[in-house]
Chains A and B, each alone.
Chain A
Amino acid sequence: MKFLLRRVGFYLVAAWASLTLAFFVPRLMPGDPAHALYARFHGKLGPEAIESLSKALGLSHDPLWKQYFGYLGHVLRGDLGVSVSYFPAPVIDVIGVALGWTVLLTGFAVILSFIVGTLLGVYASWKRNGALDRIAPPLLTFLSAFPYFWLAMVALFVGGLTLHLFPLRHAYADYIAPSFSGEFLWSVAGHAFLPAATVVIATLGGWMLGMRSTMVAVMGEDYITLAHAKGLTPNRVMFRYAARNALLPNVTSFGMALGFVLSGSLLTEIIFSYPGQGYLLFQAVRSLDYPLLQGLFLTITFAVLGANFLVDVVYVWLDPRAR
């Protein structure tokens, strides 16, 4: 319990730090969203429009500390300002829908990759120098050297354009209305398959090699020899004795890798025009939509912090020493 409370404290500090960063970065750097938006209208607005745009975007001439506390208050109430490219929709509404798709796609891909990669690592180290152990590590290392989004381009090209096996873009077919019908869910699964597969392929190697090397260390321990000597079945020794203990470092790095994997899957979304956070990020960059950029940064960061907390809970459950 004390461990979890300490972690909660840490995540609060991290959340505060990212909030503060998101506030100060735009103000320290050259460029001003109001002027950027003004420029996008190519002189169709009068100069007085800058002032009203600044108001609409929540920029003001107040002293910095006053702006800062005003900003914190707004964010805590869920008010992230108004999007420029979807003007006048509030950022929180624009992000809300997209967040669901990203959590679905990335969450599914990351968890699947973690489970499969860890299992492969367990088997590879158990049959050390067996067929799996000789072929899989170099192959997966090679695959993880590709940028995710490049793999996504190839997957789209082969699976979508050449073989016509999978749809090319979006999260579900345009002619189906979202509902919990079988047809809709099937369409969602079909659309998610290629993007998720590219993330899984690119990340599998990391989990497998990580698990393999901790398994190698754990299997040298005396209690494994004892478990064998007691005559326990190999399966029981493999999973209940070796894998359970070797899993801990992998779980810890799971939380940390989440940010990296998410970054990669954001780029994958762009290739597949998948309507998630990554696709929004791309649009925000293209149209200099600063409020949306900031909102995306904050929601993605908070999502990662939340996921890390879940990982901590799992860790406590796995490791009695943390209790």
Chain B
Amino acid sequence: MRGLLADRRARIGFLLLGVSLAIAFIGSLFVHDPSDLVAKPLMPPSAAHWLGTTGQGQDVLAQTIAGARASLTVGFLVGFLVVAIGAVIGTIAGYFGGWVDDVLSLIVNVFLVMPGLPLMVVIAAYLPPGPGTIGFVLVLTGWAWTARVIRSQALALRERDFVHAAVVSGESHWRIILWEILPNMSSLLASSFIGAAIYAIGAEVGLEFLGLGDVSQVTWGTNLFWSANDSALVTGSWWTFVPTGLAIAAVGFALALLSNALDELGNPRLRGEDDFIKRLRGYGLRAGGATPVLRRTPGGAVESTVATSTARAEAPNGVARVPGEPGKKGETRVQP
């Protein structure tokens, strides 16, 4: 946690997210009912209604804030469920291996290769509209990604000495999974949760924009749905969709910053690079093409050096070659 706060991007992310959450959950207590018809429809921003009014004559500011509460609640709940299911299936597949892994990996890959939105739409169209339905389809289509990432990490941890030791000392499989493997993935679990929440908020907005949510509720998605429905674009009423979009982007950007910072925390090679570049700058030098490697000094402080073959061979206490996972960060989750 302290390592995370040392990162500038993470601090900005925390701040932005905190402000958004505060506005969503505390601010929504102070605005009046977002469904109230307060003024003439499609009025531009004014002193009485800071962000103008919607096509029905509701206050856009109240709708955006109330929408934040609804959408963020669903987003974070779905994120949590996605990571919980993904972690269970991923660790089981990675830990047990063999046919268990084959079967689970096949299911995971099938879910991954199916395009998300059409599948969500097909299922959501048959269920009664509402947050429950949206949450259900989001979890159903979202868990596979997390499961895949966690499986590969579990696969790597499975071969570590401390897990072998636990197996030899006769610990049960479940104890090893719960006490040896999962705690060692905490930073991965955290960044998976953030990734899943970003995905959930984006997909939720998309589904509701299509009209698959409960359109009588006020959420970010239904705000945009009504904005498009009341032909905001044709009438030039930009204020009906711009605030919601900016709010979504602010939360998404904050979460992405946190996720990047967490990735670096889990992948010290990237972190060392920043250190190294800063140190070079202190001497008025510019970083070249080399990749830094971390070395642990006796005091425990991490110091970065340049990875050249000679440095590696000469370092007596062993340069801590961090097992970088080139594939991990390359897999970018794209939101619909």
Contacting chain B: which of A42-50, A76-84, A85-93, A254-262?
A: A254-262
Does the CB pair A145–B334 fall under 8 Å?
no
Interface membership of A171, Cβ < 8 A: no
Least CB distance from A97 to B in Å reads 18
CA distance A284 to B115 in the complex (A): 17
Contacts of B112 in A (CB 8 A): 256, 259
Contacts of B117 in A (CB 8 A): 262-264, 266-267, 281
Q: How many residues of A contact B (CB 8 A)?
A: 85
Does the CB pair A281–B113 fall under 8 Å?
no
Least CB distance from B99 to A in Å reads 15
Does the CB pair B118–A214 fall under 8 Å?
no
Contacts of A149 in B (CB 8 A): 206, 209, 224
Interface membership of B277, Cβ < 8 A: yes
CA distance A154 to B245 in the complex (A): 10
Does the CB pair B114–A304 fall under 8 Å?
yes
Does the CB pair A126–B114 fall under 8 Å?
no
Least CB distance from B59 to A in Å reads 20
Interface membership of B125, Cβ < 8 A: yes
Does the CB pair B307–A150 fall under 8 Å?
no
Bin the interface of chain B by size. 35 or more
Least CB distance from B115 to A in Å reads 4
Contacts of B121 in A (CB 8 A): 281, 285, 293, 297
**For residue A261, which residue of chain B has the nearest CB?**
B334
**For residue A143, which residue of chain B has the nearest CB?**
B249
CB contact under 8 A between A157 and B291, given known A17-B110, A260-B335: no
Interface membership of A315, Cβ < 8 A: no
Does the CB pair B307–A220 fall under 8 Å?
yes
Does the CB pair B210–A285 fall under 8 Å?
yes
Chain B residues close to A by CB (< 8 Å): 9, 106, 109-110, 112-119, 121-123, 125-128, 198, 202-203, 205-206, 209-212, 224, 227-228, 233-234, 236, 238, 241-242, 244-245, 248-253, 256-257, 260, 269-270, 273, 277, 286-287, 289-291, 293, 307-309, 324, 326-327, 329-336
Chain A residues close to B by CB (< 8 Å): 10-11, 13-14, 17-18, 21-22, 25-26, 29-31, 126, 128-129, 138, 141-142, 144-151, 153-154, 156-157, 161-162, 203, 206-207, 209-211, 213-214, 216-220, 222, 224-225, 228, 246, 249-250, 252-253, 255-264, 266-267, 270-271, 281-282, 284-286, 288, 290, 293-294, 296-297, 300-301, 304-305, 308
